[in-house]
Amino acid sequence: MLIKNIGIKLLKYSGYSLFGSFIFFLTFWMFMDWSLIKERVERELSKVSGYTVTIGDFNLGIGSITLKDMLFISNPEKPDEKPTRFKVSSLEINSSIMKLASGNQNLSFIMKAMGGSVSGSYSQQEEEKLFSIKISSVKVSEIPGMKSFITLPMVGKISGGGEIKIPKVGFRRSNGKFDITCANCIIGDGKTKVKATFLANPKNKASSKWSAEGVTFPPMNLGKFAGNIEIKTGTAHFNDFIASSKDGEAELGGNIKLRDPLKNSMADLYFKFKFSDEAKKKNDSLEAIELSLYQKGKRADGYFGIVINGLVSKIIIKPQKTGILDYKRPKNGRPGAKNSMRPPIMRPGNMIGPKQKTPRVPRNPNPRPSMLTNGIKGLKKSLNSKINVMTPKMEDK
């Protein structure tokens, strides 16, 4: 009987608690000004991304937050510069307003954008933030900022993942690693022209006209283009980004120095490529492209090189015979040792190798008198003899 009464009381108190929680959330939902929360989220996202962010729809659940129809717009620094835009269909955050307000910022998310999906998690500790991400079938053509790197149309889907640790000071001291794969990447569409304005010769009207009009770039299959990005102390190193197919070969390398916001990051990348003989037979325009790059971009190994550097938001692309790929430090040896033609250093006692320490010679306990010492002694002896000659001898009286 006693146990039965205790059970009834527990059920009664549990019912009171649930009813009170329901009334609290209902009142909170009805009288809360959600527009203020929406504006706050827009401000925070704009601050982190460097873009102007607007949210179309904002929904709150008991344990989740859903943002729909998000629009990211870049902020041009020049009056004649056009802003770039990209949309996010939906962003579902597995957390609640109450958790975020209490300081618990550990959450996971799923975002549908750029023709694919991006999922991950975010956790914040006292000294750093941990951000992990997984990318599935994202269209290359819809990635923001990609047109700054590649001015030609590019078709393909990117997948990959990784994590990054961001300390209090921001991205400039971050560390992490990401693996990226682009399957069946095709660059060019046979309609868009390559405009090589950096090759224009102002004194040659034909050259200036050709550079301004450009050359039609045919579709080129890169095959599988994959590599990894290793972030060390705020510098993202691009490693092993290599593509090889029947249309040609390509390699991308270098680094990006991360800054806050990310659009202020500095790129120092180098891209080298060469077309296959089969591709050049099918497309005559490829030989014209090689001819235009020959003087400034033709490399000794048969490839053509292009430098990609400057602010991520204002990338500068120009042909160059050598780049950071040629100067990177190999696993064993000094920078450039792999391709260096400098002969090995020859050292006494060790034909090839590090410099040997010279043994110390013990001091002579009976050193030979120096010429100066002998000269002073001889001069002193000569003066004494002259003084003795000039001084008369005293005779005893």
378 in any annotated domain: no
Phi, psi of 111 (to 5 degrees): -120, 135
The residue out of 63, 95, 113 marking a domain boundary is 113
For residues 168 and 64, membership in a common domain is answered with: no
pLDDT grade, residue 163 (50/70/90)? Answer: very high
Q: Answer for the pair 255, 235: CB distance below 8 angstroms, yes or no.
A: yes
For residues 169 and 236, membership in a common domain is answered with: yes
For residues 324 and 265, membership in a common domain is answered with: yes
Q: Answer for the pair 141, 151: CB distance below 8 angstroms, yes or no.
A: no
364 in any annotated domain: no
Element (H, E) at 186: strand 175-187
Q: What count of other Cβ atoms lies within 10 Å of the Cβ of residue 258? A: 23
DSSP 278-340: HHHHH-THHHHHHHHHHHHHB-TTS-EEEEEEEEGGG-EEEE-S--HHHHSPPSSSSTTTTT-
pLDDT grade, residue 167 (50/70/90)? Answer: very high
Least confident of 168-172, 193-197, 362-366: 362-366
Could you tell me the residue range of the domain that residue 148 belongs to?
114-330
Least confident of 48-57, 127-136, 217-226: 48-57
The residue out of 61, 89, 113 marking a domain boundary is 113
Element (H, E) at 175: strand 175-187
- Of residues 122 and 103, the one with the higher pLDDT is 122
210 in any annotated domain: yes
For residues 280 and 209, membership in a common domain is answered with: yes
- pLDDT tens sequence across 131-148: 999 999 998 888 876 665
pLDDT at position 314, please? 81
For residue 200, give the DSSP letter: -
For residues 92 and 123, membership in a common domain is answered with: no
- Of residues 360 and 347, the one with the higher pLDDT is 360
Mean pLDDT for the stretch of residues 162-174: 94
Element (H, E) at 60: strand 52-60
343 in any annotated domain: no
pLDDT at position 20, please? 56
- Of residues 116 and 146, the one with the higher pLDDT is 116
For residues 72 and 130, membership in a common domain is answered with: no
For residues 245 and 279, membership in a common domain is answered with: yes
For residues 212 and 128, membership in a common domain is answered with: yes
pLDDT at position 21, please? 58
Which residues are CB-neighbours of 290 under 8 A, at least 6 positions away?
275, 280, 298, 304
Is the pLDDT at 305 greater than 80? The verdict is yes
Is the pLDDT at 13 greater than 60? The verdict is no
For residues 168 and 217, membership in a common domain is answered with: yes
The pair of structure tokens assigned to 32 is 């809360």
The pair of structure tokens assigned to 206 is 């034909």
What whole-number distance in Å separates Cα of residue 246 and Cα of residue 223?
8
- pLDDT tens sequence across 181-198: 988 888 888 887 776 555
Q: Answer for the pair 65, 78: CB distance below 8 angstroms, yes or no.
A: no
68 in any annotated domain: yes
Least confident of 54-58, 231-235, 366-370: 366-370
Element (H, E) at 128: strand 128-139
For residues 85 and 188, membership in a common domain is answered with: no
The residue out of 113, 136, 159 marking a domain boundary is 113
For residues 106 and 186, membership in a common domain is answered with: no
Mean pLDDT for the stretch of residues 154-177: 93
The pair of structure tokens assigned to 67 is 């943002």
- Looking at the 3D structure of the chain, how many domains does it have? 2
Structure pTM? 0.66
What whole-number distance in Å separates Cα of residue 369 and Cα of residue 376?
11
Q: Answer for the pair 86, 61: CB distance below 8 angstroms, yes or no.
A: no
Element (H, E) at 241: strand 235-245
370 in any annotated domain: no
349 in any annotated domain: no
319 in any annotated domain: yes
What whole-number distance in Å separates Cα of residue 382 and Cα of residue 255?
79
For residues 76 and 173, membership in a common domain is answered with: no
